[in-house]
Structure 1
Amino acid sequence: MIKDFFILDFSYDVIDNIPVIFIWAIDTEGQRIVLLEKSFRPYFYVVVDEKEVEYIIEEIKKLSKSGSPITNIIPIKGKKLFGQPVTVLRIETLIPAYVRIYRDEVLKVKGVKQVLEADIRFYMRYSIDKYIKPFHWIKAEVEEVENINFRVNKVYEIKNIKEQYVGSIPKLRKLSFSIQVYSKQGSPNPRKDPIVVIAVKTDDSAKQFVASDSDDKQIIKEFVAFFQEYDPDIVYGFNTNSFDLQYLLERAHSKGLKLDIGRRVNGEPSQGVYGHYSMTGRLNVDLAGFVNSVSEVKIKTLENICDYLGIVKKEDRVNLEWYEIPKMWEDKDKKNKVIQYVADNARSVYLLGESFLPFAIELTRITGLPLDQLSMASVGYRVEWLLMRESNKYNELIPNKEERTGESYEGGLVISPIQGIHENVIVLDFSSMYPSIMIKYNVGPDTLVKGECNDCWVSPIGHKFRKEPPGLYKFVLENLVKERREIKSKLKETKDEYEKRLLDERQKALKVMANAFYGYMGWINARWYSREGAEAVTAWGRSIISDAAKIATEHGFKVIYGDTDSIFIKGNGDINKLQEIISQKFGIEIKMDKVYKRVLFTESKKRYAGITEDGRIDIVGFEAIRGDWCELAREVQRNVIEIILRTGKVDDAVRYVRKTILSLRRGEFKIEDLIIWKGLDKDVNEYAITAPHVVAAKKAIKAGYLVTKGSKIGYVIVKGTNKLSERAEPYFLVKDNSRIDISYYVDNQIIPSAMHVLKVFGVKEDSLKSGGTDILSFFKK
């Protein structure tokens, strides 16, 4: 029979010594389906000396093992590696795990130059070869078979996939969850500390499973039963890969239970690539992986992210500090507040997931990465999977990963700013400059020419790239740009609001992916790495920005600043004419990005703040968007900037700083506003220097808290006569405001953060500490 299926995910298993790929899907009736593919076999490629092909084939045959014999060795024609033709053999076997075993042995055969594509997961290899991706539909010839141990409506065996197409997304079942552990002291230990609340939120309900005592066996059983009954397609979490799921697994096992929440009976979550936990047949989406893109929020807690995005404001939910929870749980009058806190977490996670899902779906459709892996994969890996899929169409072999040391090269041009306040400043921005350069000059590792070349593009620093044929980067980028252009045209025409949103998410995803290619090319972990390519792109970019600034000056504008792909100008010239001239000269569109009503520049590059005509404030490069200052210092700097930008009055900003310092000296503050956050990039015992956050971490460990590499340490500086670092205390161990060293915060946090802005106007540092009202005293004489 011929049927249509919407693909959710892929997995595989070896059954009776045969590899079986599972395609988890939904059919046109909304039934949950698993499709079994039993005919596909694992393979890899071997690049060989063309003179030794017959000898190499015979030698490889000798390596065949009874557990998974080599079933076929096929010479393949037309394959390229970095654009160069190569002689290739395709080695086929039976069991996927044997690919790596054969890889190592085949490499030792005389005449073998490289083994390629032996590190691609079996089910992803299948999806690449069959040109199928998650969140697409396929039309397939199938035969229904017996459902054995699958939690789905029907099971089919695939006979033939006819086509893949993009259709509407069926109604998906989504579930979010959050857990709360009761730990009297220190960090939770799954061997002894019970889960006391598990909260879930679904598309149409919310539920909390609450332990009546310290035995969490019953609520884990209830959670698993609810999970199986609701049968979600997508499971939202926040840091669930790093905590919740691992804790649930260990607690379940300690109680003699299985966390049986997949779509295969007795299938527990298992940790896979990128550190994510895979739930067979479901998409476990840890949203913490997506929020890294929200750079404006430095401490990326669930509450902070949802508050910033306006999804769930802090005032509309219960907010608790983790160290408060044990005592509140022990207090019968406060226990319900803890339960509501966990329920609010589950609700926040669900709404956050719904906010990210449309964009994430489009990234999945573009890259082919399943949604659960996409949420944890870096931008580089997302680009790489797109290239891996497209290289197959281009007949280009996928290179191996290589270990490389970091190589620095000159970045984009930054034109030094004219210090001070400027009004009515226009920002002209080159649309996707780096992708445009890569397309125009056919930049890539496969087009790089290191010898003589008569028909090459030559970069300003001398790197050469052949003009024809197009390289892999150009091939893929042109497709992304073309599709985005077509979608933007559709956006102008469509009147359906739902369709508009989907199209907008698609064009944003295409833009994000295209803009990531330059960074990927210079990423040392990239399979298609090219330092020369990255260097050449930035060199062309510097040349373009420099020339664009000269053209702007020639047409009556004053250049205030320039950075990488944009210039800041002011003047009374014809801005439309200027855009037209620059765009035509370089073949890259430049357009007005924004107009600043007022913009502030310090003497430093990449540090400015501006207010747009609609009242929005942009802050770039100041401590206000960095994470190494306490919240009060960031707040002071933000407010100083805002006062100056909105009013143009420096004296008002100085008065505000003085008032803040006075309040601090009076003890009118919350300890939470003085916390300094710093991450541990290694274990505490590996630090040779006793930095404040390391001292605080050691104190937290001594108090019984689990602190490891990667932990975020929050500390405050307290009074004392010993060294500053020794006076760093974990914030949750400081209960009395009088212990805080106010002088440290005034001299090392508040004043420095304010002075980064105010020194531009000649304000004296000492004037911020005084309580006088003489405006002239603010300024240097």
Structure 2
Amino acid sequence: MQYQDGFLISRHSRDIGEQTELTFWVQTDNGPAKLIVTGEKPVFFVASVHVNQAQTILNTAGIAFTCRELPLKDFALQTVSGFYFNTINAANRASRLLQMEEIDTLESDVRLPDRYLMERFICGGLTFAGKATQRRGFVEYREAKTKSSDYSTALSRVSLDIECSEKGVLYSIGLDSERDSRVIMIGDKPANADEYPWIQWVPSEYYLLKALNDWFVTFDPDVIVGWSVIDFDFRLLVKRAAFHKLDLRLGRGGEKAHWRDSSNSRQGFITLPGRVVIDGIDALKTATYSFRSWSLESVSREMFGEGKAIDNPYDRMDSINRMFRDDKPALAKYNLQDCVLVNRIFEQTHLLEFLIQRSRLTGIELDRIGGSVAAFTNLYMPRLHRAGYIAPTLASENWIASPGGYVMDSKPGLYDSVLVLDFKSLYPSIIRTFLIDPLGLIEGLQAQETSVPGFRGGVFHREKHFLPSLIENLWKARDEAKQKGEKAFSQAIKIIMNSFYGVLGSSGCRFFDHRLASSITMRGHEIMKTTRELIEAKGYEVIYGDTDSTFVSLGRLYSNEEADEVGQALVEHINAWWINHLTENYEINSALEIEYETHYQKFLMPTIRGQDTGSKKRYAGLVNKDGERRIVYKGLETVRTDWTPLAQAFQQTLYQKVFDGEEVEEYVRNTVEDTLRGNNDSQLIYRKRLRRKLSDYEKNVPPHVKAARKADEANKKLGRNLQYQHGGWIEYVITVNGAEPLEALDSPYDYQHYVDKQLKPIADGILPFIGKNFDDLAMPQLGLF
């Protein structure tokens, strides 16, 4: 058998007769391949003390299994036996039976294809061989053998979007890819069809779906992307195909699409063998992007300054119906525009490259949302097995919370020249330095006298651990990626590396132990407090600290050159001190590294609203470097989605004037006056998310819920679909009769509300530091109205 390289696209498992079959679809230099592995044994592990009871229970139930004593132990240091089964179904039945008898079935939740891959350290790339058979569009390999490889390849992508009626009847399907861009449209082919060669005309919805099947056979993409593409587009495609009793064969090799609803039925999952479906919203969130709104229009406008021509959902629906009736080419253009916008977002953000690199680093699926726990498990579990241990079961009881990140009480004020010093990846560097590790904890407790101390009873073995070296390797890889300008790779590494603390501190991870998480966060507190002392010993004032950042006031205005000199000197002093301290007191090497991050020429640390106490995680600072002046906002109204555009614009201009030493009286008065006269109406819109069903809000109903209820009352009267019953975003204003939605606005605006609740709080956050008061500036004008 000749070996070749491939990149994993999808993984699947099933029982066939009395054995298992694993299917792995990969992309190779020679095109797609389907690898079939048969006869892998599902397994879980039982502590030896329960083995006899477990065997009796399974024998009584007539479940076939093989039990084998193993040279492995659990985290309670008990030896374990492996229970092996011929089929996945038998293993699942056995696990449920034993758990009902309170017998722990260790690692029974690990899916068979995941176990197969992780035990071979396969992360994206693999080398394979098998008995090859040429099929239509791919090569099938049976009796496949695989091993890990660094191989990677570009994956082909299509952006898919559907248009439909309000009742969910399909009108058209847009497809945009490098190989082909078209819209499949229901309708008679017009006389001027030659003007629209990218429109494929079909006579009915049935033939629309058949044309979609044919398109996937012809153009064969690896990845399908879209906007809410799973829970909207594919949910409806599956539903309409079922209505027509038509198989939706969008998988490779003509395999059928498989739809599965989650337990709450509000989220669905689509499986297309040989392909992967990636929702743009989920992928952006996984890559830690954030937008004011997640609508395609909003994200597109924020990124490119353009979006769809129709934004209001009812205007959009009316327009789509009109275009389908009267101007199908216009609807096709609109349909394809959505596809193109999604592809542009993926290209601009390198989203697919990010997901590929994440898979190469951790082995998790390309379409996995979040995935921090799965990534950690994939990396850690096979190493744990080779060290002689079986992973613990997810614990749901006796969960003890660990302290959060260090946050210092701030010193409110308006400052000249504030430096920000940041510890580079503080929590990963603490794990590296203090050897914090699940296995290290278990082994460290057996050798406490020679182990590295942690917190809350945690101690860590000096040699037996995996996590510190995993982080060190990732750290080096990120440095190389940054040097090469590989932004997607660097971002993937950063997110994975920084997630390790979150995983260890999460009750949703099987390796959670409060001694692990506490030894990270409490060590972080100690490091931040000590670093503050080191800085203040040099004669500077620390005005705030947050998790890994320290804010240092220099006491007067410094030039950038002077500030840089101070910042670099502090960094060198602090890093050297920690190296010496950790060597002398713990006999460990320091991976702690503080960096000089920013010089704010002007810096505001506000008070908590209505109090004299300094706020936390809220500040603003002016950076003036290389001819660029910009104000950085953290936690303030400008960067919050629940404040109006009026408040955000007011804050940005007011802060700029204060930081530049300009007079503010006239600006404040004019803004108040314009608001009261109705000149700022377009900026008075609140936008807020309904996070629950509308009916779930019973007591203390907030304004946005009242607005949503009024909107749906209007929708009901007009015969429209109710829009807000199951959540979503609502835009509303405050009127003299309370909150009212934009689409059902009946009352005059309550302008005084916006002065009191939007302008005044922002002004009160900064004006007192320059000896001024909002009421004094605004009140003379109020007498005019």
Q: Could you state the TM-score of these two structures normalised by the residue count of structure 2?
A: 0.84
Aligned with 1:564 (options 547, 551, 554):
547
How much has 1:595 moved relative to structure 2? 2.0
1:39 aligns with 2:39: yes
- Superposition RMSD in Å: 3.2
Partner in structure 2 of residue 166 of structure 1: 150
Partner in structure 2 of residue 2 of structure 1: 2
When residues 296 and 23 of structure 1 are mapped into structure 2, their CA distance, relative to the original with a 3 A threshold, is: closer
Tell me the amino acid that sits aligned with residue 741 of structure 1. Answer: D
When residues 521 and 490 of structure 1 are mapped into structure 2, their CA distance, relative to the original with a 3 A threshold, is: closer
Tell me the amino acid that sits aligned with residue 114 of structure 1. Answer: D
1:62 aligns with 2:63: no
1:115 aligns with 2:105: yes
**Matches of 1:485 and 1:320 in 2, distance apart?**
46
Tell me the amino acid that sits aligned with residue 540 of structure 1. Answer: R
Partner in structure 2 of residue 386 of structure 1: 379
Secondary structure, counterpart of 2:247 in structure 1: coil
Partner in structure 2 of residue 362 of structure 1: 357
How much has 1:246 moved relative to structure 2? 0.8
When residues 23 and 769 of structure 1 are mapped into structure 2, their CA distance, relative to the original with a 3 A threshold, is: same
**Contact 1:320 1:341 (C-alpha < 8 Å) held by counterparts:** no
When residues 15 and 57 of structure 1 are mapped into structure 2, their CA distance, relative to the original with a 3 A threshold, is: closer
**Contact 2:435 2:460 (C-alpha < 8 Å) held by counterparts:** yes
**Matches of 1:338 and 1:762 in 2, distance apart?**
59
**Matches of 2:110 and 2:87 in 1, distance apart?**
14
Q: Deviations over 1:685-706 (max 9, x none)?
A: 4533322232233334432444
How much has 1:539 moved relative to structure 2? 1.7
Matches within 5 A, 1:59-98: 59=56, 62-63=59-60, 65=62, 69-70=64-65, 72-77=66-71, 79-82=72-75, 84-98=76-90
Tell me the amino acid that sits aligned with residue 198 of structure 1. Answer: I
**Contact 1:412 1:542 (C-alpha < 8 Å) held by counterparts:** yes
Tell me the amino acid that sits aligned with residue 22 of structure 2. Answer: I
Moved more, 356-365 or 702-711: 702-711
Tell me the amino acid that sits aligned with residue 470 of structure 1. Answer: K
1:211 aligns with 2:177: no
Aligned with 2:312 (options 306, 312, 321):
321
Secondary structure, counterpart of 2:421 in structure 1: strand
Aligned with 1:544 (options 513, 522, 527):
527
Moved more, 565-574 or 547-556: 565-574
How much has 1:426 moved relative to structure 2? 1.8
**Contact 1:194 1:215 (C-alpha < 8 Å) held by counterparts:** no
When residues 357 and 99 of structure 1 are mapped into structure 2, their CA distance, relative to the original with a 3 A threshold, is: same
Secondary structure, counterpart of 2:67 in structure 1: strand
Partner in structure 2 of residue 637 of structure 1: 651
How much has 1:423 moved relative to structure 2? 2.9
When residues 107 and 601 of structure 1 are mapped into structure 2, their CA distance, relative to the original with a 3 A threshold, is: closer
**Contact 2:36 2:144 (C-alpha < 8 Å) held by counterparts:** no
**Matches of 1:379 and 1:617 in 2, distance apart?**
33
Partner in structure 1 of residue 473 of structure 2: 482
**Matches of 1:762 and 1:222 in 2, distance apart?**
71
When residues 453 and 298 of structure 1 are mapped into structure 2, their CA distance, relative to the original with a 3 A threshold, is: same
**Contact 1:12 1:122 (C-alpha < 8 Å) held by counterparts:** yes
How much has 1:765 moved relative to structure 2? 2.8
**Contact 1:42 1:95 (C-alpha < 8 Å) held by counterparts:** yes
**Matches of 1:397 and 1:238 in 2, distance apart?**
40
How much has 1:155 moved relative to structure 2? 0.7
Runs of 4+ in 1 over 6 A off after TM superposition: 448-452
**Matches of 1:719 and 1:580 in 2, distance apart?**
57
Matches within 5 A, 1:445-594: 445-446=438-439, 447=441, 453-459=448-454, 462-471=456-465, 475-486=466-477, 488-489=479-480, 492=483, 500-502=484-486, 504-571=487-554, 574-586=566-578, 587=590, 588-594=592-598
Gaps spanning 5+ residues in structure 1: where? 184-191, 493-499, 722-726, 774-781
Matches within 5 A, 1:310-459: 310=303, 312-314=304-306, 318-331=309-322, 339-354=332-347, 355-373=350-368, 376-404=369-397, 407-446=400-439, 447=441, 453-459=448-454
**Matches of 2:510 and 2:134 in 1, distance apart?**
42
**Matches of 1:686 and 1:422 in 2, distance apart?**
44
Tell me the amino acid that sits aligned with residue 88 of structure 2. Answer: P
Aligned with 1:280 (options 263, 270, 273):
273
When residues 291 and 505 of structure 1 are mapped into structure 2, their CA distance, relative to the original with a 3 A threshold, is: closer
Moved more, 340-349 or 756-765: 756-765
**Matches of 2:723 and 2:762 in 1, distance apart?**
30
How much has 1:436 moved relative to structure 2? 1.7
How much has 1:2 moved relative to structure 2? 1.2
When residues 26 and 266 of structure 1 are mapped into structure 2, their CA distance, relative to the original with a 3 A threshold, is: closer
Secondary structure, counterpart of 2:392 in structure 1: coil
Tell me the amino acid that sits aligned with residue 141 of structure 2. Answer: Y
Matches within 5 A, 1:282-321: 282-292=275-285, 294=288, 296-308=290-302, 310=303, 312-314=304-306, 318-321=309-312
Matches within 5 A, 1:614-653: 614=625, 615-645=629-659, 647-649=660-662, 651-652=663-664
How much has 1:46 moved relative to structure 2? 1.2
Q: Deviations over 1:548-603 (max 9, x none)?
A: 11111222323232212121224467543432231133231111122223222112
**Contact 1:684 1:694 (C-alpha < 8 Å) held by counterparts:** no
**Matches of 1:579 and 1:648 in 2, distance apart?**
31
* Percent of aligned pairs with the same amino acid: 22
Partner in structure 1 of residue 165 of structure 2: 182
How much has 1:509 moved relative to structure 2? 2.0
Partner in structure 2 of residue 691 of structure 1: 702
When residues 37 and 380 of structure 1 are mapped into structure 2, their CA distance, relative to the original with a 3 A threshold, is: closer
**Contact 2:364 2:371 (C-alpha < 8 Å) held by counterparts:** no
Tell me the amino acid that sits aligned with residue 464 of structure 1. Answer: G
Tell me the amino acid that sits aligned with residue 320 of structure 1. Answer: D
Aligned with 2:237 (options 236, 248, 251):
248
Partner in structure 2 of residue 202 of structure 1: 177
Q: Deviations over 1:761-781 (max 9, x none)?
A: 3432324535769xxxxxxxx
**Contact 1:428 1:566 (C-alpha < 8 Å) held by counterparts:** yes
Matches within 5 A, 1:663-742: 663-669=674-680, 674-685=685-696, 687-702=698-713, 703-704=715-716, 705-706=721-722, 711-721=727-737, 727-734=738-745, 739-742=748-751
Partner in structure 2 of residue 749 of structure 1: 758
How much has 1:360 moved relative to structure 2? 1.6
Tell me the amino acid that sits aligned with residue 632 of structure 1. Answer: L
